[in-house]
Structure 1
Amino acid sequence: MYAEERQHAIAALVGQRGRVSVTDLSEQFGVTTETVRRDLAVLDRTGLVRRVHGGAVPAATLTAIELGTTEREGSRAAEKDRIGKAALEFLPPAGGSILLDAGTTTARIAAHLPTDRELVAVTNSVPIAARLSGYANVRLHLIGGRVRGITQAVVGADAIRMLGELRIDVAFIGTNGLTIAHGLSTPDPDEAAVKRMMVASAHRVVVVTDSTKIGREDLIRFAPIEECDALVTDDELLPSARNELSEYSIEVVTA
């Protein structure tokens, strides 16, 4: 069976059963779990299915649903952990400043920050701020404003005003979607407004996201693709997507 035939068969199964696991698909089609994950990544990008932790569900199941921090924390955890570690290569020298956007992937960067380098860290994430508050080498600034419960991100006019007064060496930004045409996107207008100001405040913008978000477009664009300097993602990124991003002078790192 050719890859395209297998992918169509997988999409049909997802539609019939409502949810399928990577392990079951691997056994049914006699291919490795890595091959199944690549198939699901292709189907997710084309909008035929939506990848979830351990498998896939019909695309319509997740439409207009924004997952909270707890649900997202367990999704593609291994990939996010590798991305967080790989993103450390973009840290500024000692004494430099970083901005950590709210999100479960940017939280992995906070978890792996070196303890022997003095840094100024700015974040709008309550969980990230709580973690970094115990780092003796980090001078922490928590953006003020309203806390959005579902993502535990600080948003609103106060947050935007504070960000407008800052100039950051490196901003690590999460995204719900990334395409050449639509740029970086997210479903919530308040978070989009804060992310937009984060991008504007930084000398260098490093987007950290797993490969399932690449090729996906969400409701609100907060930055065109040209404002992304580097992308750190997992090794399931399609070669065609890497080549397309490289044409826009985006440094792509896969973990």
Structure 2
Amino acid sequence: MADGSRVVTRDTSERRREITTMIRTRGSVQVASLAEMFNVSMQTIRKDLHYLEEHGVATRAYGGAISSEVVNAHVEPAIETKRVSHTEAKERIGKLAAGMVNPGDSIMLDSGTTTLQIARFLPDHEDLTVVTNDFDVLSVLNQKRKIKIVMLGGELRRRNMAFYGAQTVAALGELLLDKLFLGVDGLDIERGITTHHDAEAQLNRKMVETAREVIAVGDASKFGKVCLHRIIDLGDLDALITDTEAPAYMDEAAERLGVRLFKA
């Protein structure tokens, strides 16, 4: 009896360690899929998740659990912090994304420090039109003498130096664009692409409507994070550009969802 008890305890501990790794890697897990994976009952998985919640690993959510680190992702970093974080990866992503822009394209650059890098690497073509709501992106584009720039007005949100509001959304209603490069605050397979700011989510959804091709850009630190306001599902993207540190599970997810995945 004692030997059997030790086996059960070891199996439970090992399973919980594996679930912990999955939560920290993916950002979230689901009860039903875990039960099938480990060949145990859903009640057993619920007990596991309850145990992990008590130990600060996860927070229970409907049908599963979310990483405690992800839950705390609702706190938006200051723009100064964003500018100096993951700079090398953002530069590589920006250069790769800029290479996807063709002569004659009309593109949208969403606000963000990664899209700022795209602006840096864009070729200075006369027949290229760039639309943005980001003050810093505008400053970089203004140094290029040939690109046609369309700045979306509205109310300036100084926390990320971008314009939002009804006026900004309305301005998009008259535009039809070839490509949208969408910045990412949070990216989760099940919960999609999310952001910290409600007005930004509303504007981003309108941006998606105006573009023939939607390309998300974000470094590996954004994976598994879930912010408060949802923009779109991951499957609504045409392409995703990230860096080589992106979790391996994204390859399978992107293929399954029909999203072209690029790693800079």
Normalising by the residue count of structure 1, what TM-score does the alignment of the two structures yield?
0.75
* Correspondence for 2:97: 87
Query: How far apart, CA to CA, are the structure 1 residues paired with 2:109 and 2:229?
Result: 20
Is 1:75 the counterpart of 2:85? The answer is yes
Distance in 2, Cα, partners of 1:209 & 1:76: 10
Task: List alignment gaps of at least 5 residues for structure 1.
Answer: 12-38, 50-57
SS in 2 for 1:199: helix
* CA distance in structure 1 between the partners assigned to 2:206 and 2:106 by the alignment: 16
Corresponding position of 1:144: 153
Give the equivalent residue in structure 2 for 1:192.
201
Is residue 182 from structure 1 mapped to residue 182 from structure 2 by the alignment?
no
Q: 1:154 maps to what in 2?
A: 163
Work out which of the two has the higher radius of gyration on C-alpha atoms and give 1 or 2.
2
| Cα separation, 2, equivalents of 1:250 and 1:190 | 26
Q: Is the 8 A contact 2:186 2:225 kept in 1?
A: yes
Coordinate RMSD, CA, aligned:
2.5
Per the alignment, in what secondary structure is the counterpart of residue 108 of structure 2? Answer: strand
Change (3 A) 1:97 1:164: same
Residues 193, 233 of structure 2: 8 Å contact kept: yes
Match in the other structure for 2:213: 204
* Cα deviations by residue, 1:59-103 (Å, 9 ceiling, x for unpaired): 499554211221101111111111101112321x32220100000
Aligned residues: 211
For residues 204-228 of structure 1, what are the alpha-carbon distances to aligned partners after superposition, in whole Å with 9 as ceiling and x for unaligned? Answer: 0110001121222211111122221
Distance in 2 between residues matched to 1:212 and 1:62, nearest whole Å: 14
- Partners of 2:220 and 2:70 in 1: how far apart? 20
Deviates more, 1:102-111 or 1:213-222: 213-222
Of 61, 76, 85, the match for 1:66 = 76
Residue 10 of structure 2 corresponds to none
**Helix, strand or coil for the counterpart of 2:163?**
strand
Q: Is the 8 A contact 1:177 1:185 kept in 2?
A: yes
**Alpha-carbon distance, 1:45 to partner:** 4.4
Q: Secondary structure at the match of 1:151?
A: coil
How far did 1:127 drift?
0.7
Query: Which residue identity lines up with residue 85 of structure 1 in the other structure?
Result: K
Deviation digits for residues 19-67 of structure 1 (CA, Å, limit 9, x no counterpart) = xxxxxxxxxxxxxxxxxxxx9x984644859xxxxxxxx9499554211
Distance 1:44 1:243, change over 3 A: closer
Stretches of 4+ moved more than 6 A in 1? none
Question: What is the CA–CA distance in structure 2 between the aligned matches of 1:250 and 1:63, rounded to whole Å?
Answer: 25
Q: Percent identity?
A: 31
Letter in 2 for 1:228: L
* Among 102, 127, 135, the residue aligned to 1:126: 135
Conserved in 2, the CA contact under 8 Å of 1:183 and 1:221? yes
Is the alpha carbon distance of 1:89 and 1:243 closer, same or farther for their aligned partners in structure 2, counting shifts above 3 Å?
farther
Q: Structure 1 pair 61/137, CA: closer, same or farther in 2 (3 Å)? A: same
Structure 1 counterpart of 2:176:
167
1:106 aligns with 2:115: yes
For residue 180 of structure 1, report the CA deviation from its aligned partner: 2.6
Amino acid at match of 1:225: L
Contact 1:199 1:227 in 2 (8 A): no
What TM-score do you get using the length of structure 2 for normalisation?
0.73
**Aligned AA for 1:81?**
E
Q: Distance in 2 between matches of 1:68 and 1:180?
A: 26
Distance 1:61 1:215 in 2: 10
Q: Unmatched 5+ residue regions in structure 2?
A: 1-13, 29-56, 59-67
Quote how far apart the aligned CAs of 1:182 are.
1.5
Separation in 2 of the partners of 1:119 and 1:237?
31
The answer to whether residue 244 in structure 2 is matched with residue 235 in structure 1 is yes
Offset at 1:164? 1.7
